[in-house]
Amino acid sequence: MQIQAAKVIVTSPGRNFVTLKIETDQGVHGIGDATLNGRELSVVSYLEDHVNPALIGKDPRRIEDIWQYLYRGAYWRRGPVTMRAIAAVDVALWDIKAKMAGMPLYQLRGGRSRDKVMVYGHANGSDIGETVEAVGEYIDLGYKAIRAQTGVPGIKDAYGVGRGKLHYEPADAELPSVTGWDTRKALDYVPKLFEKLRNTYGYDHHLLHDGHHRYTPQEAANLGKMLEPFQLFWLEDCTAAENQEAFKLVRQHTVTPLAVGEIFTTIWDCKDLIQNQLIDYIRATIVGAGGLTHLRRIADLAALYQVRTGCHGATDLSPVTMGTALHFDTWVPNFGIQEYMRHTEATDEVFPHDYSFADGYLHCGETPGHGVDIDEDLAAKYPYKPAYLPVARLEDGSMWNW
């Protein structure tokens, strides 16, 4: 069996997605997601110029060997562009293998560990009142877990406040727009949001919050401590994690559960965080961390330390990543939760899929493979359109973390 063709499809049904399609001489094809928000075309080039030519003629069943070939063979290791390209190949090959086996992908991992996958949705508003209302809407939709983000008075367009209700999408401008940040104001306002949420809805639902790398370790520790009475499911990206040791300080001061990892690309980014039990949830996902082949290694290491998974699932990852993540979530023994931001209808049409939402849970389908395909004719109707995430600056003009 041989790989006959590998092609990259770029489509923008509301936002940009990069998809790799691998075709075999047996008529079976597989697809993988290679989307890197705001840097999409760099992965297109990486695949078209450097990876795809090397795939032709290879045996698609040798997934592990092809993964090692692309990782070790490049000499230049890790990084978002390289690892997303590897992830796309890896996922397309797992799709092919599962289709050939006539099984849904989770069966090839070891079968079901659970009946359904708990997800969290994104509730946001420009102030506490609006966010509390938005959380209520998610509760009415059946969600068991809800992430709550609020605009903060005096801060211009704070992180997490979207334009649409169910379709939060911050990558909007042809060049990054400028938003603001003020830690003092946020530290004062965010705990009040969670106090109001618990007073309004009680403690039956899981509540989550994303700090988006905005706080120093000391400030993050302070926030975690103030949020303790409100029993969060997790506080995400409370501080930047390039220096994994930074989490020690946070951990020493608060029992609020910590999650991190949506921008991690390999196990090396979270090895110390996991082994020192500095986090509770690892947010790496399929497209970000080298595909199913690598993500399961991260999950296995995490399991040794009772760290659970919480895959990134924002709408800058295509339905291909969501579908594959759901097969991973259905299998992985140390599952925690899955992020679920809904794609727009146009995106769902370009990527027909068999996963479905009901009563706060997502269910992966039973069709062979990962259950997601691409309608190439429809995809061609939505050409690439540059779109960037905003940047953040402090009041005095200093660059901050978006």
> Of the candidates 273, 221, 276, 229, which has an alpha carbon nearest to the alpha carbon of residue 252?
221
**DSSP structure class, residue 229:** G
C-alpha 151/C-alpha 159 separation (Å) is: 7
> Of the candidates 342, 361, 267, 340, which has an alpha carbon nearest to the alpha carbon of residue 307?
267
What is the smallest separation between the CB atom of 51 and ligand CS2, expressed in angstroms? 23
Q: Taking CB within 5 to 8 Å according to partner kind, which of Mg ion, ligand CS2, none is near residue 339?
A: ligand CS2
Which of the stretches 75-83, 152-160, 202-210, 248-256 binds Mg ion when contact is defined by CB under 5 A?
A: 202-210
C-alpha 313/C-alpha 138 separation (Å) is: 17
Residue 113 or 401 having the CB closest to ligand CS2: 401
> Of the candidates 57, 37, 43, which has an alpha carbon nearest to the alpha carbon of residue 8?
43
C-alpha 56/C-alpha 297 separation (Å) is: 27
> Of the candidates 324, 320, 277, 319, which has an alpha carbon nearest to the alpha carbon of residue 296?
324
Torsion of CA 303, 308, 314, 320, to 10 degrees: 40
Q: Taking CB within 5 to 8 Å according to partner kind, which of ligand CS2, Mg ion, none is near residue 35?
A: none
Which of the stretches 173-181, 189-197, 309-317, 372-380 binds ligand CS2 when contact is defined by CB under 6 A?
A: 309-317
Q: Which helix (H) or strand (E) holds 133?
A: helix 128-140
Our answer to whether residue 159 is catalytic in this structure is yes
* 210 contacts Mg ion (rule: CB under 5 A): yes
Identify the active-site residue in 122, 205, 209, 212. 212
What is the smallest separation between the CB atom of 169 and ligand CS2, expressed in angstroms? 9
Residue 316 or 373 having the CB closest to ligand CS2: 316
* 262 contacts ligand CS2 (rule: CB under 6 A): yes
Identify the active-site residue in 71, 106, 159, 281. 159
Residue 63 or 207 having the CB closest to ligand CS2: 207
* 314 contacts ligand CS2 (rule: CB under 6 A): yes
C-alpha 12/C-alpha 15 separation (Å) is: 5
Q: Which helix (H) or strand (E) holds 247?
A: helix 246-253
Residues in 9-68 at the binding interface with ligand CS2, rule: CB under 6 A: 37
* 169 contacts ligand CS2 (rule: CB under 6 A): no
* 166 contacts ligand CS2 (rule: CB under 6 A): no
What is the smallest separation between the CB atom of 236 and Mg ion, expressed in angstroms? 5
Count the helices and strands in the chain (H runs, E runs).
14, 16
What is the smallest separation between the CB atom of 210 and Mg ion, expressed in angstroms? 4
Q: Which residue is nearest to ligand CS2 (CB)?
A: 314
What is the smallest separation between the CB atom of 66 and ligand CS2, expressed in angstroms? 27
Task: Return the bridge partners of 117, or none.
Answer: 362
Provide CB contacts within 8 A for 323, sequence distance 6+. 353, 354, 355, 364, 365, 370, 371, 372
Q: Taking CB within 5 to 8 Å according to partner kind, which of Mg ion, ligand CS2, none is near residue 280?
A: none
Question: For the chain, how many residues are written?
Answer: 402
Q: Taking CB within 5 to 8 Å according to partner kind, which of ligand CS2, Mg ion, none is near residue 169?
A: none
Number of residues binding to Mg ion, judged by CB under 5 A: 2
Question: 319: number of CA atoms within 13 Å, CB side?
Answer: 26
Question: 105: number of CA atoms within 13 Å, CB side?
Answer: 32
Residue 44 or 287 having the CB closest to ligand CS2: 287
Among 90, 269, 316, 373, binds ligand CS2 (CB under 6 A): 316
Using CB under 6 A as the criterion, which residues of the chain lie in contact with ligand CS2 when the complex forms?
37, 210, 212, 262, 312, 314, 316, 339, 389
Residues acting as catalytic residues: 159, 212
Using CB under 5 A as the criterion, which residues of the chain lie in contact with Mg ion when the complex forms?
210, 262
